């Protein structure tokens, strides 16, 4: 049951990063577009699915709370401020998404709130992961690092890197969903975003070496880790082919493969720890009775139903959007 809930938690987080990642990325790119016609088409590309994408974050939080309460308590104590800011940014983004539709004189304010909320939410998520990677100060499972113990130049750079990664996913999504100038702009943005993401990943690797982060020792112990960067490089080649030949469906697929490969690197680097090198999966898990009880709710129904709902939503709103912003 412990491995089952690890799989559910990992799958939920990965689906959140992939799906909410591209619509947060569209929100980030939204800030660089000033023509309202193009902005409306960008929002139409994500409007049927953006709120459903965030469901995966709720599900992941629920599983973490019920199945791994020790990690939930320790991580939330350390990351209380970034979690609070990140949730606030997601709320602001959602409100702005709806309000700008009816706004006239205040539309500029809601546009800024939408793009700003997207940037802050993406940055906070990356910075929080960076804080976990560099290590949280825990004593007997209790966080002792203070309000900003998670914050460092390394975590800040991780936040910036995730913003760029999400923007890459967002541009890839606009390519597959839009026509005309919006599609053309997304294609023009992709090479610059690729360069920025590659530079960021390289700098993160070098910073990890320079700071002697414990996670780097796993690269010596677990040779399989080198497989995933290789997969990422192959996917990057496919992404470049898709850009060069204008294969609209290829950029989003290859971008998601790149992100999945990076996610797998972190997962295997942490294994068998949930908070790196301090709390293991076995130590963090709830009693077997609790895990079995949760299976009949979240395991048997919530995860499969959310997955089915997501699949149906994407199937119903497949294809490119019309110039009017609707679907054929």
pLDDT of residue 328: 60
Q: Is residue 156 part of a domain?
A: yes
> For the chain, what is the mean pLDDT?
88
**Residue 322 belongs to a domain:** no
CA distance 150 to 261: 25
Residue 198 burial (C-beta neighbours within 10 Å; 0-12, 13-18, 19+): middle
Work out the burial of residue 28: count CB atoms within 10 Å of its CB; fewer than 13 is exposed, 13-18 middle, 19 or more buried: buried
Q: What is the pLDDT at residue 19?
A: 94
Q: Is 16 domain-assigned?
A: yes
Asked if 290 contacts 229 with a C-beta cutoff of 8 angstroms, the reply is no
* Average pLDDT estimate for 111-117: 93
Q: Where are the alpha helices (DSSP H) in the chain?
A: 2-30, 36-46, 50-53, 55-67, 69-78, 80-102, 107-134, 153-177, 180-210, 217-221, 227-245, 249-270, 281-284, 288-294, 303-316
Pick the more confident residue, 143 or 240: 240
Between 250 and 217, the more confident residue is 250
Question: How far from the centroid of its chain's Cα atoms is residue 45's Cα?
Answer: 18
DSSP reduced 3-state for 145: coil
Taking Cα atoms as reference points, which of 112, 116, 216 lies closest to residue 163?
A: 116
Summarize pLDDT for 194-210 with one digit per residue, the tens: 999 999 988 888 888 88
Span 231-240, average pLDDT: 93
Q: What is the pLDDT of residues 268-306, one digit of tens each?
A: 888 888 888 888 899 889 998 888 888 887 778 888 999
Which pLDDT score, from 0 to 100, does residue 323 have? 65
> For residue 328, is it within any domain?
no
- Overall pTM surpassing 0.85 (yes/no): yes
In a domain, 166, yes or no: yes
Three-state DSSP at 54 gives coil
Domain that holds residue 66: 2-316
104 found inside a domain: yes
Q: How many domains is the chain partitioned into structurally?
A: 1
Percent of the residues in the chain that have a pLDDT greater than 70, as a whole number: 98
3-state secondary structure of 40: helix
Average pLDDT for residues 56-72, to the nearest whole number? Answer: 91
Q: Do the beta carbons of residue 148 and residue 80 sit within 8 Å?
A: no
32: in domain = yes
Identify any residues that bridge with 236 across adjacent strands, giving them in sequence order: none
Q: How far is CA 161 from CA 52, 252, 290, 320, in A?
A: 24, 18, 37, 29
**Residue (of 51, 48, 24) closest to 117 by Cα position:** 24
pLDDT of residue 326: 64
Q: Do the domain assignments include residue 235?
A: yes
């Amino acid at each position: 049951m412990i491995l089952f809930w690890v799989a559910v938690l990992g799958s939920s987080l990965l689906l959140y990063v992939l799906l909410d990642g591209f619509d947060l990325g569209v929100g980030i790119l939204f800030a660089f577009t000033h023509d309202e016609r193009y902005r409306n088409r960008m929002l139409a590309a994500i409007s049927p699915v953006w709120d459903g994408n965030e469901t995966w974050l709720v599900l992941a939080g629920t599983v973490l709370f019920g199945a791994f309460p020790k990690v939930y308590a320790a991580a939330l104590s350390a990351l209380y401020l970034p979690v609070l800011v990140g949730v606030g940014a997601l709320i602001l983004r959602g409100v702005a998404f709806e309000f700008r539709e009816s706004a006239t004189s205040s539309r500029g304010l809601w546009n800024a709130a939408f793009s700003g909320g997207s940037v802050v939410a993406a940055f906070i998520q990356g910075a929080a992961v960076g804080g976990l990677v560099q290590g949280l100060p825990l004593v007997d499972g209790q966080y002792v690092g203070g309000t900003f113990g998670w914050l460092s130049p390394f975590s800040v750079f991780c936040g910036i890197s995730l913003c760029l990664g999400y923007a890459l996913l967002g541009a890839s999504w606009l390519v597959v969903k839009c026509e005309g100038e919006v599609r053309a702009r997304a294609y023009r943005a992709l090479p610059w975003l690729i360069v920025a993401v590659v530079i960021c990943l390289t700098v993160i690797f070098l910073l990890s070496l320079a700071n002697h982060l414990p996670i780097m020792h796993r690269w010596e112990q677990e040779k399989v880790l080198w497989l995933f960067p290789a997969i990422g490089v192959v996917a990057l080649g496919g992404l470049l082919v898709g850009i060069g030949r204008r294969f609209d469906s290829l950029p989003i697929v290859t971008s998601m493969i790149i992100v999945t490969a990076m996610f797998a690197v972190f997962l295997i680097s942490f294994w068998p720890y949930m908070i790196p090198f301090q709390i293991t999966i076995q130590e963090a898990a709830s009693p077997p009775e609790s895990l079995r009880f949760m299976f009949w709710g979240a395991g048997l129904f919530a995860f499969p139903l959310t997955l089915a709902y997501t699949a149906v939503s994407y199937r119903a709103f497949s294809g490119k959007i019309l110039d009017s912003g609707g679907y054929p």
